[in-house]
Amino acid sequence: MPISWPDLSSRCERAGLPLRGGFHPGEGDGVPAAGDLAAGTLVLLGNAGPSMWRAFSRARKDAPDLALDDWTVAVVSPLAAELGATALFPFTGPPYWPFQRWAQQAEALSPSPLAILIHPRFGLWHGYRAALVFAERLSLPPREDQASPCVSCAGQPCLSACPVSAFSPGSYDVAACVGHLDAGPGATCMTGGCLSRRACPIGQEHIYPDEQREFHMRAFRRAMSSTGS
C-alpha cells in the first residue's frame, strides 16, 4: 500500500527536511524513472524557515566541517531506501535536475524581482534540498494556487535595499554584488544576509537565523570565486 501523505510528511520532518509539495510527472517534466518503473510521483524536500538549520546544526556538533550537501545526502539516501523511492539532489551534476521547474509544479511559487522563487507564506526564506521519486501515484494534498505577492507589493523594497543597486527589474549585476561583498561595507551583507532579500515584507516571521544567513552568504561567495566572479 502506498505511503500516505501525513506519514511521509512526518518522516521527512523527523529527518530535518520538511516536505515541500509534490506532483504526478508527465512527459516533458524531466523526471527519471523510479528504478525500473516509470515515475508516478515526485515530492520535494527542503526547508522553510529555520527547521532544516536546526537539524543540520545538531549534526555539525559532532562534525564541525560537515558540508550541507553531504549532510543532505546522508539524511535523504537512507530515507529513500526505506520508502522504496529514488533520491535526487539539485547539487549533483552536470547535468542538473530542473528543481526550480519542479518546485513551481509542486507549490504556488513565482519568480521575484531578485530571481529567487517567492512563496506566498514563506517569502524568500525557503529552499529545496532533495526530491523523492516514487513509482506509485501517491495521493497528494490539493495545491493552493495564489497570485504572486510581488504583483501587489508597494514599491518593491527589495529592489532599492541593495547598497550597490545590483538588482533591477529583470537584471542582476553579479559583479557589483560580489565586489561589494569583498569590500569593507559588504560585511553587513556577509554576516547578516542579503539586504535586498531581508527587505522583502513577505514571510518575515520565517527569516533564517543569523548564523544560517551568514552560512549561505559565505557559500554564495565561495561559489562565485569558483566561477571567477
pLDDT tens readout for residues 83-115: 999 999 999 988 899 999 999 999 999 999 998
In tens, the pLDDT along 8-59 reads 999 999 999 999 999 999 989 999 999 889 999 999 999 998 889 999 999 9
In tens, the pLDDT along 138-150 reads 999 998 888 899 9
Beta strand extents in the chain (DSSP E only): 19-23, 41-48, 86-88, 110-111, 117-118, 126-134, 167-168, 171-172
Handedness of CA 130, 132, 133, 137 (dihedral sign): negative
String of b and e for 193-222 (b: at least 16 CB within 10 Å)?
Answer: bbbbbbbbebbeebbbeeebbbbbbeebbe
DSSP H stretches of helix in 2-150: 5-15, 51-60, 68-83, 99-106
Rounded distance, CA 180 to CA 148, Å? Answer: 30
* Model pLDDT, residue 199: 96
* Model pLDDT, residue 228: 61
* Model pLDDT, residue 43: 98
* Model pLDDT, residue 9: 95
Confidence of residue 227 (pLDDT cuts 50, 70, 90): low
| pTM passes above 0.75 | yes
* Model pLDDT, residue 45: 98
Mean pLDDT score of the chain: 93
**51-60 vs 68-83: helix axis angle to the nearest 10?**
110
Cα–Cα distances in Å, from 209 out to 48, 51, 54, 141?
12, 10, 10, 30
Confidence of residue 134 (pLDDT cuts 50, 70, 90): very high
72: cell is: 543532505
Per mean pLDDT, which range of 64-73, 79-88, 167-176 is the poorest?
167-176
CB 20 within 8 A of CB 126: yes
Closest of 11, 41, 45 to residue 129, by C-alpha: 45
* Model pLDDT, residue 166: 94
- For residue 207, pLDDT beyond 60: yes
* Model pLDDT, residue 2: 85
- For residue 229, pLDDT beyond 60: no
Percent of the chain with pLDDT over 70: 98
